[in-house]
Structure 1
Amino acid sequence: MVISQFLIISGQKCQPFIIKFILKKYAARNNKLGDISCEEMKCFIGILLLSGYVSVPTTKLYWEESSDRYNRIVSNALSWDGFEFIIDRSTKVRPLFTVLNDRLQAYAPHSETHSVDEAMVPYFVRHGRKQFIRGKPIRHGYKLWVGATSSGYVIWLEPYQGARSVIPEQYRSLDLGPSVVLQYAYILSFLGEFPHHILFDNFFTTVPFLGELKKRRLKGTGTIRDNRNPKCSLETTACMKKNKRESFYSKVKKDKSIIIAKCHDNSIVSAASNAEPVHPLHSVSRFLRTLKKIVKVPRRHCMYALNTGMRGIDRREPKH
């Protein structure tokens, strides 16, 4: 007995047009048109139904080779990699996110500055999707990709899928981080023709990605890792630590489309932008340990814009 026949045996007879509808919806969500066949989708649904009759602690145990766990029907019907390819870990909550995103976008305020970052939903019980992110206000829980205005209004939420996160075909050359921002940029295109400026941290920023945003007539600014701009030789972090505070170095691409800057603030920070210049200077408050008091120090415009705009997602409750 093959697993696709299990659908009929269990009383779950699926017409071909239903399977085609499921494939179409799956492809539209994950941009994987043609990667799975109708027969594979039948097997996938059959495995889900079988799991209700023959339960195991984790689904992967169906493919274990040990005699007390191995399930020949399942393993012969569909490989574990094939099952992993199809399944969406957020299937049960996907309708909720769809409705929530529709409502959020329907009432979204007009804003030029937006930020994209990861956010955490607090959760402390053991679960396969629970994450730990050091330095976040909430360190344990479920991770979400979030797009919001600089004032904190959330426009888009997407559950993080872990190592199995799907990168749409048209964004695969840019990696996962840039693909998340471009998905949010696509949503912004339906909210009005505005000169949107999207801010992000070093997980998302690459020089080719900023160039791609430029082609799409979108502004982008973000912190950047030193190993992502090898062709731009700025002062090393070790040397900058020896320099006085407020020291600053920058390089501009030949066509002046992208600027990469590095400054000594509370720490050594590198940033890249296709929109924000170095000047003018802004005055910000900093505590100097040597003087043991708060003083005003200058900050370059690109750094200032990044610092003020990224407050939309990482917002902390005010202390009373």
Structure 2
Amino acid sequence: MTDKEDLDDDRINLNDNNDNFLNEIAGHVELQYSLEGENIQDVGNELSETENPSTSNAHGDVMITGGFKRKSDFDVPVWRKPRNFEYSRTPINIEAFKMEEIFSEIGSKSPYDIFSLYFDKLIIAEITHFTNEYANQHNTAINVTPVEIRRFISILYISGYHTLPHIDHYWSVRPDMGIPIVKQALSRNRLKIIKRFLHLADNTDLNTVDRFAKVRPLIDALNKKFMQFGVFSHILSVDEQMIPYFGRHSCKMFIKGKPIRFGFKSWCLCSESGYLFSSILYGGAATPHDKNVGLGAQTVLDLLANVTEPDCHIIFFDNFFSSYHLMCLLNERRFLATGTIRENRMAKSPLRNLKKEKRGAFDQLLDGQQEILTVRWNDNAVVNVITNNSTAKPIVYAKRYCRKQKKTITIPQPKVIQEYNHGMFGVDLHDNAVANYRIRIRGKK
């Protein structure tokens, strides 16, 4: 084999009718199929068994691609005790090196300069354009400027840490309520007009399939901005986030028992410290996805699609996402992951029943071919964990309160459980940081 070319570059063009014209060039192909008047299942049935279609992407567009491997494409796991076993791959931690590069780039910037790296002039210009266009469609010329849009956003952020009972109080003449910087930035009526006509997309050119079409341009732009420094964290976590919303929308969720019961659900990929790398808005049960892997597994794979160095990260997720099938797919993509798992997704791993054993008891089994380890541990309840990079030993110890002895005791804990507890809560830290300064000026948009 050689990389030497046999053809002259000058002869390769569309006007060349000779026999040496290159009419087959390898590349990526994406087929898009409209949902109108068709059933996704019927479309999938028209494809061959080997094509295995994936019917959605992060933007809500219906897609037919090569899809993911099915469970039957992998060998049946053979479970055994992991005696003297070592993984063929170990995670590489280069986070400190990447953080030095980022600090050298933005370490001298002010908070406003860093904010401008995300809401840059292009994003502000698009919001300004779409807002003016929406106002013109309603026979109102507001002629809002980019400076006013920036000031409007800044007032929204001020309401997150300087909370007043009503929006009008920010312009109050009372010394204990009125805020001079807000009064100088925008008048009350001007802010209400901008709030009324604020728009992020062109209403005349919306994707009818995408339920989030009106905010999609901003979501896509911010996802790119979040990734501008690359995925620099060694430990990543995938989890859901609730965005509170009390208006009417077909994608609004109600989740009983959550701190935020009503709102939009978003799947997030975050660092250990809570930095958001990517998010995907969830449109409900009607959201198309590849049924060969399930919604949870496809969400993880979609969020990790932009991670360029899989060996440099460890991913954590909970039992909504994890399965033996997902771990096999992550192995193919060289990702190292750990997650809690439901018993019916463990590929029949015959771990012993620990319900009647004492607290701290555990069992583990290994599939040596795929290098996937399952661990069961008895805590206040039985916990199942699956991993392709960690081990149960060496055993660590965790503090628990004992009702019988009426004191705090220590119980044995597998190492993989400790690592999961340490690395899983990046999305929760991100959610907590947002909640501490959440915008208090409410609206139904």
- TM > 0.5 between the two? yes
Go from structure 1 to structure 2 and tell me whether the alpha carbon gap of 1:187 and 1:134 turns closer, same or farther (over 3 Å shift).
farther
CA contact (8 A) 1:221 1:271 kept: yes
Specify which structure has the bigger relative contact order, considering alpha-carbon pairs within 8 angstroms and separated by 6 or more residues. Answer: 2
- Return the letter of the residue paired with 1:229: M
- 1:258 alignment partner AA: I
Structure 1 letter corresponding to 2:319: N
CA shift digits 1:261-304 (9 cap, x unpaired)? 11111221111111111112223222222223333332111111
Give 1:159-170 correspondences, 5 Å limit.
Answer: 159-167=281-289
Alignment of 1:51-62 (within 5 A): none
Give the 5 Å matches for 1:178-257: 178-189=297-308, 192=309, 194-236=311-353, 240-255=354-369, 257=371
**One-letter code of the match for 2:342?**
R
Report the counterpart of residue 258 of structure 1 in structure 2: 372
The structure richer in helix per residue is 1
Does the aligned pair in 1 maintain the 2:310–2:335 contact within 8 Å? no
Post-superposition offset of 1:256: 6.0
Deviations 1:167-205 (A, max 9, x none): 2xxx5521211111111111112xx46422111111111
2:299 is the counterpart of 1:177 = no
Paired position in structure 2 for 1:296: 410
Structure 2 Cα separation of the partners of residues 231 and 277 of structure 1: 20
Deviation at 1:208, TM superposition (A): 1.6
Q: Write the distance in 1 (CA, Å) between the matches of 2:299 and 2:231.
A: 21
- Alpha-carbon separation, structure 2, partners of 1:221 and 1:263: 15
For residues 134 and 223 of structure 1, do their structure 2 counterparts lie closer, same or farther at Cα, with a shift above 3 Å needed? farther
Deviation track 1:205-239 (CA, whole Å, cap 9, x = no partner) reads: 11121011111111011111111125212223xxx
Match for residue 12 of structure 1?
none
Among 133, 138, 153, the alignment partner of 2:255 is 133
Q: Helix, strand or coil: the match of 1:148?
A: strand
Report which of the two structures shows the higher radius of gyration computed on alpha carbons: 2
Q: Using a 3 Å threshold, how does the CA distance of structure 1 residues 317 and 180 change in structure 2: closer, same or farther?
A: closer
Amino acid at match of 1:105: M
Hey, what does 1:284 align to over in structure 2?
Answer: 398
Bigger mean CA offset, 259-268 vs 284-293:
284-293
2:121 counterpart of 1:121: no
For the Cα contact (< 8 Å) 2:245–2:252, is it kept in 1?
yes
Aligned pairs, number? 240
Secondary structure of residue in 2 paired with 1:252: strand
State the alpha-carbon separation in 1 of the partners of residues 406 and 220 from structure 2.
Answer: 51
Per-residue deviation, 1:108? 5.1
Q: CA deviation at 1:128?
A: 2.4
Match of 2:63 in 1: 32
Task: Indicate if the aligned counterparts of 2:360 and 2:412 stay in contact, CA closer than 8 A.
Answer: yes
Gaps in structure 1 of 5+ consecutive residues: 1-22, 35-51, 53-84
Secondary structure, in 3 states, of the residue corresponding to 1:106?
coil
- Structure with greater strand share of residues: 1
Q: State percent identity of aligned pairs.
A: 34
Distance 2:418 2:345 in 1: 22
* TM-score, normalising length: structure 2: 0.49
Letter in 1 for 2:400: R
* Correspondence 1:88 to 2:205: no
Q: Superposition RMSD on alpha carbons, in Å?
A: 3.0
Secondary structure, in 3 states, of the residue corresponding to 1:242?
Answer: coil
Contact 1:108 1:153 (8 Å CA) reproduced? no
- Extract unaligned runs of 5+ from structure 2: 1-31, 36-55, 66-136, 138-206, 434-445
1:282/1:300 contact within 8 Å kept = yes
Answer yes or no: is the 8 Å Cα contact 2:328–2:370 preserved in 1: no
- TM-score of the superposed pair, with normalisation by structure 1: 0.67
Give 1:86 deviation, angstroms. 5.4
**381, 399, 407: which one aligns with 1:267:** 381
Q: Secondary structure at the match of 2:322?
A: coil
Note the C-alpha offset of 1:163. Answer: 1.4
